[in-house]
Each structure stands twice: as structure tokens, then as C-alpha cells.
Amino acid sequence: MLSRSVHGDHDLLKALAVVLGAAGAAALLSKRLRQPVVLGYILAGLIVGPNVGVPLVADPDVVHTLSELGVVLLMFSLGLEFSLRKLIRVGPGVAVTAVIQCSLLFWLGFTVARAFGWTTLEGLFTGAILAISSTTIIAKAFDEQGIKGRLRELVVGVLIVEDLIAILLMAALTTVASGAGVSAGALAGTTARLGAFLVGLVVLGLLVIPRTTRRIIAMKRPEVTLVTSVALCFGIALLARELGYSVALGAFLAGSLIAESGEEETVEHIVRPVKDLFGAVFFVSVGMMMDPALMAKHWLPILVLTAIVVVGKILGVGLGAFLTGNGTRTSIQAGMSLAQIGEFSFIIAALGLSLGATGDFVYPVAVAVSAITTLLTPWLIRASVPTAKWVDRKLPRPLQTLGALYGSWLERLGSSSKGPESTIAVRRLLKRLILDAAVLAAIVVAGALGTSSARAFLVERDLMSPDLAGAIAIGLVALVAAPFCVGIVRVGRKLGQTLADLALPPPAEPSQLDLAAAARRALVVTLQLAMILLVGAPLVAVTQPFLPGFHGAELLFGILVVVGLASWRSARNLEGHVRAGAQVIVELLARQSHEPKEGGGPAAKLASALQGLGEPIAIGVSANSPAAERTLSELNLRGVSGATVLAITRGDASLLVPAAHERLHAGDVLAVAGTREAVACARAIVTGSDEPPTERPGSEPSRR
């Protein structure tokens, strides 16, 4: 017994020495090469793992045991960064962006996995692996490149919501993979048990843990805080394990409950060294599980999934961010920043392997995709600025105008004085939209699960042929689901109209001229597009595993095409509205001196000249202005600020909606429209005042 214990201690010491030594060397090398340290840890694990043939090999079983501590502490730290207060602060726009992106990537991952012949469970885990971006890698890359301001705020907000989605995915996948199957009754029962566990733990935890944490920290004994916090972390993780859920879920909940105390920064600072130590062991263990031979065998799925991660996240995040009012430039930069997978993907892949839900090839494929996208991340972030400039220049003029003004409309919506009746109407429509989507998902899932049983029943009794029975069953499901599909579209349009009326109120009297009609129509269609995508993307992601083919995706794509064409027509009409508004503004400026007065004169009149043009202001170009003798293209005014130039007055002449090659001269007066932040940024660029945007150069402050 003593000999065995000594031998075990020797294995533990050897494994720690090899793993930490390799991790330390890899961290130094990564720092020298300006690469994320996580990538160095993974490569160190590959070297000391059993699949390369290097004599320096750590015991995989010992390292795996230690790595579980790293998973628990890593998830605990992520939980400390998540709290209800922080989720409320990031706003609904960020949540919409995260939901759209995760739904799109989950569907793409599942679809591609099934196309490669993988099982349904492997497809579900693959979709979840691709859906979540890496908080660790992005934070490191942003710190190294000094990215702050609106772009960082948006990306971090999306990551917070993604972390929550990842926890829900892990809980659901654990339930399905543990033997619940895909029957409607089993799914309902396991979902109810999971909900009861989460609600019970959160309610009891909120009553005890935040108060206890504050009292312990008040003692000002760091060692007591460390021991107690880690004890809570492992205790709740163990409770989750005993009830059939993952330790990662329990650790995350422990961190989020402590975060509700308001002392999360203190706890995170004290726990960080321990988390970093075992986190390094975890990432090294990830590398040890990489099998180059297995990766070479599955090189095609690795390349395809890598392309899906990069392209899918850029499109998903970019579209979601734009539809929530972040502007073209910031949306593209956010999408290119989030185009990778990381620590959550490893944890989800390891969960599938431990539950026996996936083959042994899924984990190394996930690690390979993460390694490639991690290498690409710094380059994508650096390339996001010129890429956003290029896209902004190549967009058709109507879409450029729509993108510049859309953020100002959402800004007006956020600051509008909603009466109780309007608030009740919006909430009622939102509830109807969510209810229709939930019922539609239930109908599709139940219909898909019951179709095979009904067909078998009819065929066994020789009542009809298998093809006819299947067609009838599918037709009945479609007939029942059709009213809810129509309801989602109609409620989405009604909700869009209600929100548009709040942002751009129609005239009080029908006889009055509606100056904001074109802008309101464009806002209605764009909001409808956002709502259909917000509801449709999760619906397709949830129902795709139960449907043969791509029926749900085809229907969603068709609806989006129709609404997209309507949005294009409204954008073209908006362009004419903007030109008419620019003419009105030019006439106002012609009555004033060429040098606008601060706080009055044309600046005050422009704001009420024409509704739907954001917050237009007049900006004069002086002889010593940095904009003098430079073209709008050289200034990249719209790209940097998010504002659009409606008109330029030059003496007695005027230019309506000037082109990018137009050169500015001293004495020119620009009429600029957009959000408050956008026009303030444009003023700073044109005048060279001490009122610069809070973003790093190249980012776009336009936001809701």
C-alpha cells in the first residue's frame, strides 16, 4: 500500500513537472511570437502527449484528472464575470446579436456534421461546439491590440450572452445524451427537471451566497476568501454532478451567485492565480488529446468547419449587430473579432466524449478548428478595419444611407417617451410573438416524432402505401403549423409598425404632411427583418434535428428574401426622401451665414427641418480645418463616424448628397446627419476640435 502510494505520488509529481514546465516554455515562446498563450499551451500538450512520439510524456490519466479542476475553476471565473446586473447592462441588442449568431452556427454545424455521415448526437455537439466564441482568446487579442470603446463593449456583451447560451446548451446536451432520447415525453420531463434544478439552486443560492460572500470579504482575510470561494465552487459543482448534470454547469452557477454579491472583482483577483495554474493544465490536456493521424484522416471536416466558423460568425454577428443599430463598420469589425472557437468548445467536446455521445474523432477535430481560428483571430481583427472600409465603399448608395440613418432611428426609439399604453402594446405583441414561436416549435417537433409512428400504424394495417401515409402525415403537420407561421410574420410586422411609430411618430392630424413617411416605412421593414431573423433562426436550429432535409431553413430563407426585397425598395425610396430633405436643409443654410452659430441658427433649425434624418447639424470648414482640400473619401467621414453628409453649401452653390470624390474647401458648410455620437464624431473630424470619438481610430461609435 505504501509502495503504491509513493508510486502514485511520483506519477503526480512527474506529470505536474512535465506539464507545467512545457506550459511555461510555451507561454514564453507565445509571448515572443505575439500569439495567444492558449495556443502555446495546446501545442505544449501536443508535444508531451502520447500521440507525437517525443520521449517527454506526461501520464494522460493524471493530467486529465488535474484538467477537470481547471475546467471547474475556468467555468467558475466565467460565472464571476456573469451576473444579472451585467446582463441587463449589455442591453437587448447584444442579446439579439448573440442569439442570431449562435442559432446560425448551431444549424450550420449540425447540418455539415450530418452531411459527413456523423450521428445525430455528434451533429448536435458539433453545432454547439461551433456556436460559442472564445472569451479568453478575444480578451487577450483586444488587450494586445489596444482595442477599447464601443467595439470592445459590443463584443464583450455578445460573449456574456454566448456564455449563458453555452451553459444552456451543455445542460440540454447532457440531458439528451444521458439517455432521455428524442421522444417528446422524455424531453419534456428532463427539461422540467433541469428547470427545477436551476430555479431551486438560484433561489436558494441568492438567499445565502451573496450575503455570506460579503461577510467573508469584510473580514479582510484573503486566504479565508480564497478557501471559501473555491469550496463553494467545488461544492456546487459536486452537487450538479450528483444530480446528473455537468460540473461545468455547477461551477458556472457558483461563480454567478457569488457575482451577485457585488464583490466579484475581489474574488476574481484572489482566485485568479489558482485558476491560471489549473487553466494551463486544462489547455495542455486539450493538446494531449490531439492525434495528428486522426486529424489528418479528418482534414476535410476540419477545413469545412473552420470556414463555417469564420464566414458564419462574420455574417451572423455582423447582421445581428447591424440590425440592432451598431452601424456597418462596427458590425463587420465585431463579426471578424468573434470568428473563432475556444475554451467552451473544448469543454462541450469533452462532455460529448465523456458521455459516449460522440466518436473519438470529434474532440481532436474541435481542437484543430480552434487552433486554426485562434491563429487567424489577430489577423482578422487587424484586417477588420480595412475590410469594413471596403465593404462600406462598395455598398449601394441606398444601403449606405439606410445604414447611416437606421442607428439614429433606434436611438430615437430608445429615448422616446413611451406612454403606458404603448409599453403595454409592445409587451403584448412580444408575448404573442414568443408564444407563436414556441407553439410552432412544439408542433414541428411533436409532428416529426409522431410522423413515423403514424405512418407505421397505417402501413401495418394495409390502409395505404408508406409514401402516401408519410405525405398525409407531413401535410397534416404543415396544415396545423401554417397559422402560426403566418401569425409570426403578421405579429412581427405589427410590432415593427408599433416601434416605428414610437421612434418616428406620425402626424397628429391626417391632413398634415407626413415628413417621416419614407423613413418610417424603411424602419418598419428593417425591424420586421430583424424580428423574423430573431425568431426564425432559433426555430430552425431547434427543429432541424427532427426534420429530414432543409424544410425549415428553406421556408425561413424564402421569407427573408421577400422581406429583404421589400427592405431594398424602401431603402431606394428613402434615398429620394433624403435628397428632398437635403434640398430643404440647403435652403435653410442659404438663409444663414456660411459660418454656423453654436447652439442656434441653422444647427437648431436643421434638427427639425425634416423628420427621419437623425440629428442633422451644420459643420463649417475653416481654412485651418484638417478637412480642407481633402475629399470625403480621404476623410472616410461616414466610415469612421457613422454619419452621412446630406449636403454641402459653397457660396451660392449647393451639392445634394455629395459623392465620395467631392473635395472640401474652406468656407464650405456640411449638413451631416446620424446619431448624436456619430454627428459629434463627424464634427471632430471636420473641425479638428477636442471632441474626438471615444473609439480607437477605425471604429464606429454609432450605436443605440
Written as nine digits, the cell of 663 is 473635395
Q: Is the pLDDT of residue 404 over 80?
A: no
Cell 466565467 sits at which residue?
A: 78
Q: In this predicted structure, what is the pLDDT of residue 694?
A: 40
Written as nine digits, the cell of 66 is 488535474
Q: In this predicted structure, what is the pLDDT of residue 696?
A: 36
* pTM score: 0.79
Q: Which residue did the predictor score with more confidence, 66 or 272? A: 272
Q: Report helix, strand or coil for 649.
A: strand
Written as nine digits, the cell of 407 is 442607428
Distance CA(648)–CA(657), nearest Å, equals 8
Confidence of residue 74 (pLDDT cuts 50, 70, 90): confident
Residue 452's CB: how many other CB atoms inside 10 A? Answer: 11
Q: Which phi and psi (to 5°) does residue 342 adopt? A: -155, -125
Q: Is the pLDDT of residue 596 over 80?
A: no
Q: In this predicted structure, what is the pLDDT of residue 5?
A: 47
Q: In this predicted structure, what is the pLDDT of residue 481?
A: 80
Q: In this predicted structure, what is the pLDDT of residue 703?
A: 34
Q: In this predicted structure, what is the pLDDT of residue 108?
A: 92
Q: What are the Cα distances from residue 149, in Å, to 138, 317, 386, 410?
A: 15, 18, 18, 20
Q: Please determine whether the domains at 2-394 and 591-687 fall in the same fold group of CATH.
A: no
Confidence of residue 9 (pLDDT cuts 50, 70, 90): low
Q: Is the pLDDT of residue 304 over 90?
A: yes
Q: In this predicted structure, what is the pLDDT of residue 606?
A: 52
Tally: H helices and E strands in the chain:
25, 4
Q: Is the pLDDT of residue 7 over 70?
A: no
pLDDT in tens, 678-701: 788 888 888 877 554 444 333 333
Dihedral sign for Cα 147, 149, 154, 160, please: positive
DSSP track, 75-143: HHHHHHT--HHHHHHHHHHHHHHHHHHHHHHHHHHHHHHHHTT--HHHHHHHHHHHH---HHHHHHHHH
134 in Cβ contact with 374 (< 8 Å): yes
Q: In this predicted structure, what is the pLDDT of residue 185?
A: 56
447 in Cβ contact with 481 (< 8 Å): yes
673 in Cβ contact with 646 (< 8 Å): yes
Highest mean pLDDT among 310-324, 554-568, 585-599: 310-324
Confidence of residue 112 (pLDDT cuts 50, 70, 90): very high
444 in Cβ contact with 547 (< 8 Å): yes
Q: Picking from 98-112, 179-193, 220-234, 429-443, which range would have the lowest pLDDT averaged per residue?
A: 179-193
Q: What is the mean pLDDT of residues 56-74?
A: 74
Q: Considering all CA atoms of the chain, what is the largest pairwise distance in Å, rounded to the nearest integer?
A: 100
Percent of the chain at pLDDT exceeding 70: 82
Q: What is the mean pLDDT of residues 168-183?
A: 71
576 in Cβ contact with 478 (< 8 Å): no
Give bridge partners of residue 663 from the DSSP assignment: 631
Residue 624's CB: how many other CB atoms inside 10 A? Answer: 9
Q: Report helix, strand or coil for 653.
A: strand
Written as nine digits, the cell of 89 is 447592462
Q: How does DSSP classify residue 544?
A: G
Q: Is the pLDDT of residue 57 over 70?
A: no
Q: Is the pLDDT of residue 636 over 80?
A: no
662 Cβ contact list (under 8 Å, min separation 6): 631, 632, 648, 655
Among residues 1, 368, 327, the alpha carbon closest in space to that of 151 is found at 327
Among residues 616, 550, 566, 631, the alpha carbon closest in space to that of 586 is found at 616
Q: In this predicted structure, what is the pLDDT of residue 46?
A: 82
| Helical H segments across 116-221, by residue range | 120-131, 135-145, 149-175, 184-218
Q: In this predicted structure, what is the pLDDT of residue 1?
A: 42
Angle, vertex CA 93, rays to CA 87 and CA 96, nearest 5 = 90
Angle, vertex CA 396, rays to CA 395 and CA 398, nearest 5 = 120
Q: Which residue did the predictor score with more confidence, 15 or 223? A: 223
Q: Is the pLDDT of residue 154 over 50?
A: yes
Q: Is the pLDDT of residue 601 over 50?
A: no
Written as nine digits, the cell of 214 is 460579503
The radius of gyration computed from the CA coordinates of the chain, to the nearest angstrom, equals: 28
Distance CA(650)–CA(589), nearest Å, equals 10
Give bridge partners of residue 656 from the DSSP assignment: 647
Q: Picking from 260-264, 420-424, 672-676, which range would have the lowest pLDDT averaged per residue?
A: 420-424
pLDDT in tens, 333-376: 899 999 988 778 888 888 888 888 888 888 889 888 988 888 78
Helix (H) or strand (E) holding 274: helix 264-288
Distance CA(437)–CA(661), nearest Å, equals 48
Confidence of residue 291 (pLDDT cuts 50, 70, 90): confident
Match domain 2-394 to its CATH number in 1.10.150.130, 1.10.20.140, 2.60.40.10, 1.20.1530.20: 1.20.1530.20
pLDDT in tens, 474-519: 777 778 888 888 888 888 888 888 888 887 777 777 766 666 777 8
Q: What are the Cα distances from residue 639, in Å, to 190, 315, 470?
A: 49, 19, 54
Q: Is the pLDDT of residue 184 over 60?
A: no
pLDDT in tens, 114-153: 899 898 889 999 999 999 888 777 876 776 677 777 788 7
CA dihedral 360, 363, 366, 368 (to 10 degrees): -90
> Which CATH number applies to 591-687?
3.30.70.1450
Distance CA(136)–CA(132), nearest Å, equals 12
Q: Which residue did the predictor score with more confidence, 465 or 341? A: 341
Confidence of residue 315 (pLDDT cuts 50, 70, 90): very high
Q: In this predicted structure, what is the pLDDT of residue 615?
A: 66
Q: What's the chain's average pLDDT? A: 78
Q: What is the mean pLDDT of residues 189-214?
A: 80
Distance CA(338)–CA(318), nearest Å, equals 10
**Residue extents of the structural domains in the chain:** 2-394, 398-569, 591-687
